[in-house]
């Protein structure tokens, strides 16, 4: 079900050009982009707010029944996250990451911490262009490998002009402290404060060195679970300190959707 009001409300929080493009091109249904600012209450087609969470009566097992626009959370056949075990060797990478440093703002939207980035960073995936809008965090990681989650993962959310998304996942493991993560954590606003500002934030500093990654077709991992996402999950992780993990866990003890059935999909491993 299309929700034009929400689509444009969401998109104006992103770079102006992206907003214009996306609002004009009639993006795919239910473009409630995960990690989007003010997404604590999704708005239904009728305009009322829908509370969802990671536990209890409004937790992941209930998402599909909270609102008709969340139906894909129950009925979908290519849902995310998944366990990435059993990936088969794919072809060439066909992934080119062209991110650049820029101003950013840090928002706590009630589901996660979101870093909205300046216009100008993009990727090319299988010859299609996707603009980087924002990235955000899950604790523990949503994707797993052989049943194991990392302490945290980052999802870098990109949108194509046609409205579909490409999300790059990066696992964060315990090790040395990461200065970029530190700068983001220090910019997290307290309740009621305006977004934290970061100058010259370099998202590329949060990429692991190797380019090998898992690839599969999936969905948003938050309601309405829209099946519009080309997933890229880097096989290598980056290190953050246990203190940095603990600092995020203090804000979000659990904000990961459980893994979903793979069904007929194949996970590819690209080098
Ligand atoms: Zn996410």
pLDDT attached to residue 6:
36
Q: Which residues have a catalytic role annotated?
A: 111
How many whole angstroms from 176 Cα to the centroid of ligand 1? 24
Three state DSSP letters for 96-128: EEECCCEEEEEEECCCCEEEEECCCCEEEECCE
Q: How many residues does the chain have?
A: 271
Which domains can be identified in the chain, with CATH numbers? 4-270 (3.10.200.10)
CA distance 61 to 109: 21
DSSP class of 236: S
What pTM, to 2 d.p., does this model score? Answer: 0.85
For residue 2, the cross-strand partners are none
Q: Cα(200)–Cα(197) distance, rounded to whole angstroms? A: 10
pLDDT of residue 17: 34
Per-residue confidence (pLDDT) for residue 24, from 0 to 100: 30
Contact 144, 137 (CB under 8 A): no
Is residue 168 helix, strand or coil? strand
For residue 147, the model assigns a pLDDT of: 98
* Rg, the chain, Cα only: 17
Helix then strand count (H, E) for the chain reads: 6, 15
All residues with CB under 5 Å from ion ligand 1: 34, 155
Q: How far apart are CA 107 and CA 38, in angstroms?
A: 9
**Which pLDDT value is given to residue 133?**
98
Report how far residue 263's alpha carbon sits from residue 72's, in angstroms, rounded to the nearest whole number. 14
- The structure tokens listed for 2 are 């299309």
Ligand 1 centroid to Cα of residue 137, in Å, is: 6
Distance in Å, CA 271 to ligand 1 centroid: 23
Ranges of residues in the chain with a pLDDT under 70 are 1-48
pLDDT for res 12 = 34
Structure tokens at 35: 């990690």
């Amino acid at each position: 079900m299309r929700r034009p009001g929400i689509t444009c409300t969401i998109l104006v929080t992103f770079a102006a050009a992206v907003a214009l493009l996306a609002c004009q091109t009639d993006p795919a249904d239910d473009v409630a982009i995960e990690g989007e600012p003010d997404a604590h209450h999704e708005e239904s087609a009728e305009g009322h707010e829908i509370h969802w969470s990671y536990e209890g009566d409004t937790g992941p097992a209930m998402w599909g029944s909270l609102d008709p626009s969340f139906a894909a959370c129950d009925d979908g056949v290519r849902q995310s996250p998944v366990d990435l075990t059993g990936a088969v060797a794919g072809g060439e990478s066909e992934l080119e990451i062209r991110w650049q440093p820029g101003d950013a703002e840090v928002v706590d939207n009630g589901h996660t911490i979101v870093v909205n980035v300046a216009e100008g960073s993009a990727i090319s995936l299988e010859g299609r262009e996707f603009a980087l809008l924002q990235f955000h965090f899950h604790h523990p990681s949503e994707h797993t490998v052989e049943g194991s989650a990392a302490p945290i993962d980052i999802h870098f959310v990109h949108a194509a002009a046609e409205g579909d998304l490409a999300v790059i996942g990066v696992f964060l493991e315990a090790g040395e402290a990461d200065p970029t993560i530190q700068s983001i954590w220090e910019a997290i606003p307290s309740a009621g404060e305006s977004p934290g500002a970061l100058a010259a934030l370099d998202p590329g500093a949060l990429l692991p060195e190797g380019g090998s990654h898992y690839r599969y077709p999936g969905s948003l991992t938050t309601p309405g679970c829209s099946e519009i996402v080309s997933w890229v999950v880097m096989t290598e992780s980056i290190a953050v300190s246990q203190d940095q993990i603990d600092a995020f866990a203090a804000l979000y003890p659990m904000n990961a959707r459980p893994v979903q059935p793979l069904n007929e999909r194949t996970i590819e491993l690209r080098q």
